[in-house]
Structure 1
Amino acid sequence: MHEFMDYVRNAFYDATGWNRESSYSSLNSTANALLNFPTPVGVRLTLSSLASPNFATSYQLGSVGVVDGSISYLYSSVPLDVHITPQSDRTPLATPFQSYRPLPALPRRGDDQLTPYPLHSPSAASLLYGRLYLPQSLLEALVIRRVSPALQLQLSAVSGQFLRDGGTLLGLAQYDVGRYSLEGLASSDGGLLGLRGLYNFGNEVDDADGAAPFPPPAVPSSGATANGGVGGVDETRERIYGRFSAGGEIYYGTLNKSGGVSLGARFATLPAHRGTPLTATLTLNPLMGNVSATYALMAGRNCSLATKFDFNVFSYESDWAVGMELWRKRPQAPAAPISSVEKLVRQRSFQAKLEWRMDDPEEVKETITSQKDADTGAGTSDDDEYTGVLKARLDQNLRIGLIWEGRAKSLLFSLGSGIDLRHSESPFRTLGVEVQFSS
């Protein structure tokens, strides 16, 4: 289950127009969500609230052998209530639980993309986040600052007595112009320095209205086909609307004198694609000899599948994993019987008969609506089409991860288990439940 503060932080990115998927670090985000989801351990309860449009709090209490918990606070300089539904009884389940998400449109930056925002401008948005873990007194902090339309700075820190040097500090400078993005990082842990980059191919960002790079192929209105033939079927193959991205990263530890490099590519269909949504990635680590390929798709409106294959060219070792996400739809309610008011308005009212006219359609509609609201309660309809989701994964070591997520009354819950089939005497290695309430 995505924590409430992650939900709020994503709302901050939406409010400021920052594309989280336009980064090399997010190249495998879809496959990771389907294959590497965490299973709950023990019992954990979370109470959260968007106390004001700019301020959120969260309190967590858990029990895994010992009682632990955390206290979180978040402040945003831009209001978030427009981009978030904080009430757990009204939040669509797909928002916190869905793993496969289509790529958003690339941002369009102007010529002033590097011009800094005025210091007190609403566009110069800031986010402050802090979390204290108890009883170990571990402190986590995050600061995000939007400097210009294309530049964003992040500073995160972790402080604890059991950590080396008492804590770590990580700084990120993110530059995104839509066509490509760059990210520089520096960490106090090992004196790590790194650079990442991702380039998007195609002319999607050049489209003026931000839609798909090419309009959907038109279906001939007459019997003639697109290639000039005669018949009722268009022989032109349907175009695949997708985005191809490629990039890499390089990093070096100044203290331990070691470094690394990786290369990666991704193809993902866009929402304009009328076929099966899919995402495929390939990443290489030349120094370690690792090759990783992932493939994820939405097999239907209620089912997503993913697979991953890793291979090392030096040791010839390989790993694989498969994952599934299956949604349970809300059963359709039976058609309501026709109320007495609807039966009444099917005939002309007495006043209309006296005036030799038909009933006013607007008056009839208003009468039926007001009567239905009085019978069922206005504003109590639930537009969420799902009641829960089952997630499962299996790897080459016969380890299974199962989790069921849904809503009970006003509570969001996650019930899951980790199973190891190699230990037939006690296959259930972990078992837990998480409950979350937010207002």
Structure 2
Amino acid sequence: MLDFMDNVQNAFYEASHWNVDNSYGALNATARALLDFQTPKGLRLQISSLAAPNFATSYTLGSVGVVDGSVSYLYSSLPLRGRFKSSDLDLHNVIKGYRHLQKLRRPDEDWWWEVWHSGKRIDRRDTLLYGRIFLPQSTLEALYLRRLSPTKQLKISAVSSSSLNNGGTILALLQNDVGKYSTEYMYSTDSVLMGVRGLYNFGPDPRVAPTIPVTAQEIAEPVHGRFSAGAELYYGLLNKSGGISTGLRFTTLPNHTGFPYTMTLTLNPLMGNLSSTYAVKAGQNLALCSRIDFNFYSYESELQLGCELWRRRRNTDIEWAVKKLRPDWKQPNVAPDEDVSGILKARVDQNWKIGVLWEGRIKELLFTLGASLDLKKREQIIRAVGIELQYSS
């Protein structure tokens, strides 16, 4: 489940019209959500608040061997008006599951962002600042996010810790997204690493207005899917080493009449790794995913299977009818997913390592209950068990 601050950052992206899915880094987002979820360890409690449309705070307390925690603050120059209370937010916005990619939107025109007053231009670019300190380790995380233009964004993240080389590291990303394609330029102080990656979407260009169809065939053949291809290249100046990878993705769009599905294929030729994933939304409440990894240097392979199952309340209609018969009944303001009681996630690999996760809401608390199992180790099958609780106001 997303942390409160991650949910606020996603709201900033949405309010500033930034598509987080249109990048090479998000090529395997669906498979990662269904297969690479983290199972909690021990007990962790998070209390958060959006004190103002521009300011948010969050406090976390955990117990994994020793008592630890964190304190974080976030500021956004763009007012955020979404639902952030744990009692009424949409669970689909905070639970990572099968991702339905939407149609590409046309980027905003530059002049749309201009604000003039008395003949002077006074508009400013939207900015987000985030900081988090971990206790008792005294590790500090920071994020600076600035929208430079309708198609450009600058993201600078930093970590300060005595356990890292030179006491910390800084990563800068200059992102460009025009809809049809996106590019990212990266620089990291760790090993003086520089890189570039990009993603290209085949099919219609959202920047070009659709022309009037001249034949009945053009009217009868709407686009139901999107094929994308991308690659990345990076090189470290200090350690004289680099890497390269490339990937393909095909996913169905919302107007697809059959089962939604997503297929990806990624290749790292230097390391010899080949990875293929297939995810399908097999029903309204069920999603399945598989991933096969193969190394053509060592001939080693790995298989992972995963699923997610949304559980819905069966008595929603009955409760609604009973309440309506009461003389003093008034229709309450409920979240759009008020019939959802939770979601069950599970994964397993060829070594019989299993991860199970149950996420949902009880009253005004969001909860994540999980466990990791290793069936080959009979003396200790249960590797870890944990629960996380979140409350936001």
TM exceeds 0.5? Answer: yes
Matched-pair contact (CA < 8 Å) for 2:107–2:207: no
Question: 1:2: Cα distance to partner?
Answer: 0.9
2:123 aligned to which of 117, 121, 124: 121
Identity of aligned residues (%): 53
Q: Does 1:45 align with 2:45?
A: yes
Residue 109 (structure 1) shift: 3.0
Q: Secondary structure at the match of 1:190?
A: helix
Residues 185 and 120 (structure 1 numbering): CA distance in 2 closer, same or farther, change over 3 Å? farther
From the superposition, tell whether residues 396 and 216 of structure 1 become closer, same or farther in structure 2 (CA, over 3 Å): farther
Deviations 1:109-143 (A, max 9, x none): 36749x99998525x11000000000000000000
Deviations 1:33-59, CA, capped at 9 Å, x for gaps: 000000000000000111111111100
C-alpha change, 1:111 and 1:54, in structure 2 (3 Å) is closer
Aligned residues between the structures: 382
Relative to structure 1, the CA distance from residue 108 to residue 375 in structure 2 (aligned partners, 3 Å threshold; closer, same or farther) is same
Max radius of gyration: which structure? 1
What is the RMSD computed on CA atoms of the aligned residues? Answer: 2.6
Q: Which of 329, 332, 335 is equivalent to 2:312?
A: 329
Q: Secondary structure at the match of 1:10?
A: helix
User: 1:20-419 residue pairs with structure 2 within 5 A?
Assistant: 20-81=20-81, 84-109=82-107, 112=110, 120-122=122-124, 124-203=125-204, 205=206, 208=209, 241-331=224-314, 332-334=316-318, 336=321, 375-381=328-334, 383-384=336-337, 385-419=339-373
8 Å contact kept, 1:117–1:148: no
Quote the Cα distance in structure 2 between the aligned partners of 1:338 and 1:44. Answer: 36
Report the CA distance shift for 1:260/1:330 in structure 2 as closer, same or farther (over 3 A): same
Is 1:422 equivalent to 2:376 in the alignment?
yes
Letter in 2 for 1:270: L
Distance 1:29 1:75 in 2: 27
Q: Confirm or deny: 8 A CA contact 1:116 1:147 kept in the other structure.
A: no
Q: Which amino acid aligns with 1:336?
A: A
Q: Secondary structure at the match of 2:31?
A: helix
Q: 1:203 to 1:240 in 2, by over 3 A?
A: closer
- For the structure 1 residues 336 and 108, does the alpha-carbon distance in structure 2 shift closer, same or farther, using more than 3 Å as the test? closer
1:85-126 Cα offsets, whole Å, 9 max, x none, are 11111112222114112113323136749x99998525x110
Aligned equivalents of 2:292, 2:245: Cα separation in 1: 17
Aligned AA (1:186): Y
Secondary structure of residue in 1 paired with 2:199: strand
Q: Name the SS for the 2:191 alignment partner.
A: coil
Asked if the contact 1:93–1:387 (Cα under 8 Å) also holds between the matched residues in 2, the reply is no
One-letter amino acid of the counterpart of residue 286, structure 1: P
The Cα of 1:171 is off from its aligned counterpart by 0.4
- In 1, the alpha carbon distance for the partners of 2:59 and 2:190 equals 29
Q: Do the aligned residues in 2 keep the contact of 1:19 with 1:104 (CA within 8 Å)?
A: no
Whole-Å separation in 2 of the counterparts to 1:37 and 1:120: 44
SS of 1:100 mapped into structure 2: coil
- Kindly provide the CA deviation profile for residues 273-328 of structure 1, in whole angstroms up to 9, marking residues without a partner as x: 11111110000111111110011110000001110001111111101101100010
1:154 Cα deviation after fit: 0.7
Q: TM-score, normalising length from structure 2?
A: 0.91
CA distance in 2, matches of 1:264, 1:318: 18
- Shift of residue 333, structure 1, vs aligned partner: 3.2
State the alpha-carbon separation in 1 of the partners of residues 323 and 379 from structure 2.
Answer: 59
Counterpart AA for 1:181:
S
Give me the whole-angstrom Cα distance separating, in 2, the residues matched to 1:404 and 1:12: 28
User: Residues 339 and 170 (structure 1 numbering): CA distance in 2 closer, same or farther, change over 3 Å?
Assistant: closer
Q: Verify the 8 A CA contact 1:413 1:435 in the aligned structure 2.
A: yes
Structure 1 runs not aligned, ≥5 long: 210-214, 220-237, 341-371
TM-score in terms of structure 1 length = 0.82
Q: Partners of 1:286 and 1:117 in 2: how far apart?
A: 49
Helix, strand or coil at the partner of 1:40: coil
For 1:70, the aligned partner's letter is S
Return the letter of the residue paired with 2:253: L
SS of equivalent to 2:321: coil
CA distance in 1 between counterparts of 2:334 and 2:105 reads 35
SS in 2 for 1:375: coil
Deviations 1:226-265 (A, max 9, x none): xxxxxxxxxxxx9771111101000000000000100101
- Which structure shows the bigger proportion of residues in strand conformation? 2
CA-to-aligned-CA distance 1:311-351 (integer Å, 9 cap, x gap):
111111101101100010122332636988xxxxxxxxxxx
Superposed CA offset, 1:166-192 (max 9, x none): 000000000111111110000001110
